[in-house]
Amino acid sequence: MPCRPNQTHGTHEAFRGPGSIGNASSPARVWPGKRMPGRMGCDNKTVKNLRVIKIDIEKRIMVVKGAVPGATGGLIKIRKAGGER
């Protein structure tokens, strides 16, 4: 099993469950800024400085040296290299 940081947030019933989020009957509320679960994933990732090895126009394949994030068969956006945009 790979070593991961604690993703249970103090509870053992559910993976990434919130556990206890507040005090007892006093102050009877949740403190502002309390870290709560939210949406995870679906973020755009930018990878720079990848080298194009080969372009096959007939098969419509571009071979890139390096890791490309995303699922297999997913869509990627390729831009021309340049400075800050």
Per-residue pLDDT tens for 64-84?
999 998 888 888 888 888 766
pLDDT at 1 over 60: no
- Does residue 33 sit within a domain? no
CA distance 44 to 82: 19
- Does residue 52 sit within a domain? yes
pLDDT tens-digit profile of 4-56? 666 655 656 666 667 788 887 888 888 898 888 777 777 888 898 899 999 99
**Which residues span the domain enclosing 63?**
45-69
- Does residue 56 sit within a domain? yes
- Does residue 49 sit within a domain? yes
CA–CA–CA angle 46, 51, 52 (5° rounding): 105
- Does residue 8 sit within a domain? no
The count of structural domains within the chain is: 1
- Does residue 15 sit within a domain? no
- Does residue 74 sit within a domain? no
- Rounded to two decimals, the pTM is 0.46
CA distance 24 to 44: 40
Tokens standing for residue 59? 């098969």
Signed CA dihedral, 44, 49, 51, 56: sign only = positive
